Structure 1
Amino acid sequence: MLPSISPSSIEPSHQWVIRISKTFETHLLVDTNLPICIFHVPETLINENHESYVPKRIGLGPIHHFHTELYSNQEQLKLTTSKTVLTPYKIAYHFTKTVIENLKQLVPEVRCCYDSYFDVDDDTLVWVFTLDGVFLIEMLSKLSEQDSLESFEDIVMVENQIPLFVLIEIRTALEEHISGHCNNTFLANLLVRICETHSPLKFSKRVSRLDLDINNRFHLLDCLYHLIVNHNVTAKNQFLQTNFLDDVDLEDVENAVQMASEICPGASAFLQPLMIVLKLPWDKIINLIKKMLGENPAVLEIDIPSASELSRIGKIEFCMTPGGIRDVEFDDETTTFYLPILCLKPDSEVVLRNLVVYEGLMFKKGTFTNLDFTQYVDLMCGIIDSAKDVRVLREKHIIERDLEDDEIVKIFNGISKSSMKTEEVSGLQKTVERVNKYYGNVPRVKVYYFMKKYFLAWWKAIAIVFTLLNLMLLVVRGACEVYECNNSLGFGFVRLIFSVGTERDGLVEFERI
């Protein structure tokens, strides 16, 4: 029977005392500055896109090593791979003493890297990390030589990370067994090649191991995140669009209702229910309906026009910058929007989503102080709404891709805007504000906003009123068909309306034929 690595959600009190005492001792006795850096992805995100967060082929570390779906297929593969890797070191008879005993000393530090305590003994945990660590080093070596997208998707996931100091210790133990000394050049160069090859953002210069101090990095995903965020060539009002009523200013509608009531006192009887309808939580109602119908809930985006609108209406020129996400800039004088080069491959959605989740979880823990990458992805989700937007950015060489335009649209339309906020307004947020300010002052756009503010609320209010009246009439008509209403009750008028409506519908259908 395989041991269960997943922490139990319900446990007797005496087991809780044993577990919590072990956890407390581990954190109290371990002298380390390593932060929690490997997390369980929130269930809401997994439900939103299961394929991006749960490995399909390779389970690494205590979270996924013993998952039934993966274990039966990968145990023999890991053993075979480990044998292939270890054979040149001639370490078969000394493996336990050379590798296992060294890693066992690191178990307390390894436990501190996870956001949950795993109720397994140290021996089990050591063998999990040894087997998975050796396997991961070999996988990285193969990935650096060929572009195996399927494997990379799994090993870059947040829950599938192996602490980097475990890999360093394995390499050190093996090299010292042969030559008596070891440096981390091989592993550093290997990680750099992997990150450079699979980064969704293009590096303007050749990345070297000098750009990546692996002794201060936590794992593979952290290496990739560090290189992307810190790559540059130079050393707050965001509004959500959640449902079809977001364009309606409730204050404008209330003013309209009040004016209508003053002009026609009887109108308030019809318009007051309208206000009740408008104040309903339509975003939750619509998402619930879509969920019942099997559709994905609406995705939140930042308030910025699409790339095609900025180009066609705002006459904003897009230009690539050789830098990174911290070099996103808008030049007011030349009306040029500078964006870094984005290289999109079949595995890019998994990489983008896990980088965003990792940054967000580290931000919540207080390890990261900004949300640079998340804000960049929010920006790209905002300006890419359709294939026209992708085409604009592709023609300006901002997007390089192995995907079709529609596939790229699907990626960015499926990622929801982050709800987390930083204390200070970032440079990228200020850039978005300047773009919106410039676009909002375009004469054509100003006219549209004026029409939207003063007339759209009226038209939507009228449409809702007629919808409600139509529903009421349908109810009355149904009641009349059952109870044979007479004219003295006033229902003959309703019948007349529906008879006229039916005749008109018939005429319309006749004309169409």
Structure 2
Amino acid sequence: MVPSISSSPSSIDNPQWVFRISKTFETHLQVDTDLPICIFQVPETLITENRESYVPKCIGLGPIHHFHTDLYSNQEQLKLATAKTALTPYKIASHFEKTVIENLKQLVPEVRCCYDSYFDVDDDMLAWVFAIDGVFLIDILSKVSEGNSLETFEDIVKVENQIPLLVLIETRSVLDKHLSGHCNNSFLSNMMVRICETRSPLKFSKRISRLDLDINNRFHLLDCMYHLIVNNNVNAKNQCLRPNFLDDVDLEDVENAVQMASDICPGASAFLQPLLIILKLPWDKIISLVKKMLGENPAVLEIDIPSASELSNVGKVEFCMTPGGIRDVEFDDETHTFYLPILRLKPDSEVILRNLVAYEGLMFKKGTFSNLDFTEYVDLMCGIIDSAKDVHILREKHIIEGELDDDEIAKLFNGISKSPLKTEEASGLQQTVARVNKYYGNVPRVKVYHFIKKYVLAWWKVIAVVFTLVNLMLLVVQGACQVYECNNGLGFGVVRLLFHVGTEKDLMFEFERT
């Protein structure tokens, strides 16, 4: 029987729960730690969207998934065999519990604070979980850092599968001291750097070293990769203005055109003034009402920005790679150049991207992070990549690299929904996107298209709805007249006149005459 490691108060004996929670709370009060909650159970909304990217497939690590029913029977022997092989050089078999377990047991109260869930197990059990999973994880990370491609890497980078770095640091320190009498903290630092450098979906502007990553101030593997990516920048961002909502149509220009037309041809004013009145109507509210009538979902699933092919072919925007990171995304208004960081995509990149976004969002909700830099970057890429031709344009400019083909990359970004989270103030990347949209919206060809789309096509939809309702009403009246033999009553003579129906055997209004 696999033990349950997490329980709700309703599933256990109440006095027992009170005793355990009081002891746990007492322990937490005595723990002096600045560690925030940094390991989360992913919300069901994300799991529903793409279960494979968030739920472990082969290996469950830490108290959330260590005893996962679907994995436990297969992974237990693998973990024990791997741990035995990894521990062989340290010759610690007979002293493992006395050294590793006892040291980790002292850390358990502090480690509990890293999780967003309460685990209804005692410290001894958690110490064994972290000891086995910690040794196993160190061995896997060591192999990955040496260039080995392991299927389990996708699992160990998932949010729910993170192991606090303080567990790895303590485990490695105990083993080193047992073997040589002193510990080498640089081993874990160098290992984390190599993994982040080789597996990061975004290319770093320079070769990073362990001096760029202080693992004593980082929480876990995913946190290390996140901070190295977000803090990788080379240029300061310029402050940009947010565009007006309706840059497509300049009402002042229209008014001037109406005035000029009236001066040249006095009679033209009678025809042009109604156009000016139409443009001044509150179209945002009107179109919103139309969308409600048509049952359209007002939620935006992608960031509001044209695709790469539209920007390139219609807007004549030039794409260029920047050696920096996501904070170096920039748009040059003078040269119409869009600068984007280099994105290297591998088979496991989608899992990494999704979990980095999930981690940033969960930390943002907790108030630990104040920005959504990575999430906004992924939203941007989802917005400008709609099809393989968009990927092809970015690949030609060396902005996208890697093993995946164009169709796979397009499918990857089309499968990620826009994040609902927002910062209080517009970030640098949001301002850059606004500038791109403002430039693209002012392209003459685009202005005409937007005008037609907003003010003409919307009304055609209304007309279609009205026509459908009228047609339905006429069919109902037709059916009633066929039953009650009403001849030309109910105003059918007028209806025929309006719809140019001139014969008694018309296809729409064919009635029997008495």
For the criterion TM > 0.5, the same-fold answer is yes
CA distance in 1, matches of 2:97, 2:138: 19
Corresponding residue for residue 2 of structure 1: 2
Shift of 1:5: 1.6
- Native 8 Å contact 1:36 1:114 kept in 2: yes
Shift of 1:280: 5.3
CA distance in 2, matches of 1:221, 1:454: 48
Superposed CA deviations along residues 446-496 of structure 1, whole A, max 9, x for unmatched, are 22222223212211111222333455566677x669x94534576999999
Corresponding residue for residue 192 of structure 1: 193
Q: Does the alignment pair 1:120 with 2:121? A: yes
Corresponding residue for residue 379 of structure 2: 378
Q: Does the alignment pair 1:89 with 2:102? A: no
Q: Does the alignment pair 1:39 with 2:40? A: yes
CA distance in 2, matches of 1:336, 1:277: 37
Matches within 5 A, 1:9-408: 10-11=10-11, 14=15, 17-148=18-149, 150-234=151-235, 278-279=291-292, 282-283=295-296, 300-408=301-409
Question: Structure 1 residues 463 and 355 mapped into 2: Cα distance closer, same or farther (>3 Å)?
Answer: same
What SS is found at the alignment partner of 1:150?
coil
CA distance in 1, matches of 2:38, 2:458: 48
Shift of 1:332: 0.8
CA distance in 2, matches of 1:448, 1:75: 61
Question: Structure 1 residues 90 and 392 mapped into 2: Cα distance closer, same or farther (>3 Å)?
Answer: same
**Amino acid of the structure 2 residue aligned with 1:7:** S
CA distance in 1, matches of 2:506, 2:84: 84
- Native 8 Å contact 1:53 1:157 kept in 2: yes
Superposed CA deviations along residues 407-465 of structure 1, whole A, max 9, x for unmatched, are 11111111111111112221111111111111111111122222223212211111222
- Native 8 Å contact 1:305 1:382 kept in 2: yes
- Native 8 Å contact 1:321 1:327 kept in 2: yes
Superposed CA deviations along residues 144-183 of structure 1, whole A, max 9, x for unmatched, are 2334252111000000000001001110000100110012
CA distance in 2, matches of 1:62, 1:167: 15
CA distance in 1, matches of 2:483, 2:194: 81
What SS is found at the alignment partner of 1:218?
coil
- Native 8 Å contact 2:321 2:339 kept in 1: yes
Higher alpha-carbon deviation: 302-311 or 141-150:
141-150
- Native 8 Å contact 1:85 1:134 kept in 2: yes
**Amino acid of the structure 2 residue aligned with 1:376:** Y
Corresponding residue for residue 486 of structure 1: 485
Question: Structure 1 residues 26 and 234 mapped into 2: Cα distance closer, same or farther (>3 Å)?
Answer: farther
Identity of aligned residues (%): 75
Stretches of structure 2 lacking an aligned partner (at least 5 in a row): 246-273, 275-286, 510-514
Corresponding residue for residue 248 of structure 2: none
CA distance in 2, matches of 1:152, 1:299: 33
Shift of 1:193: 1.0
CA distance in 2, matches of 1:60, 1:238: 47
- Native 8 Å contact 1:32 1:109 kept in 2: yes
**Amino acid of the structure 2 residue aligned with 1:3:** P
Question: Structure 1 residues 388 and 109 mapped into 2: Cα distance closer, same or farther (>3 Å)?
Answer: same
CA distance in 1, matches of 2:296, 2:65: 35
CA distance in 1, matches of 2:465, 2:94: 80
What SS is found at the alignment partner of 2:152?
helix
Stretches of structure 1 lacking an aligned partner (at least 5 in a row): 241-258, 260-273, 287-297, 504-513
Shift of 1:378: 0.8
- Native 8 Å contact 1:172 1:182 kept in 2: yes
Taking structure 1 as the reference length, what is the TM-score of the superposition? Answer: 0.82
Question: Structure 1 residues 176 and 452 mapped into 2: Cα distance closer, same or farther (>3 Å)?
Answer: same
Taking structure 2 as the reference length, what is the TM-score of the superposition? Answer: 0.82
Shift of 1:349: 0.9
Question: Structure 1 residues 82 and 471 mapped into 2: Cα distance closer, same or farther (>3 Å)?
Answer: farther
What SS is found at the alignment partner of 1:320?
strand
CA distance in 2, matches of 1:39, 1:238: 37
What SS is found at the alignment partner of 1:88?
helix
- Number of equivalences: 457
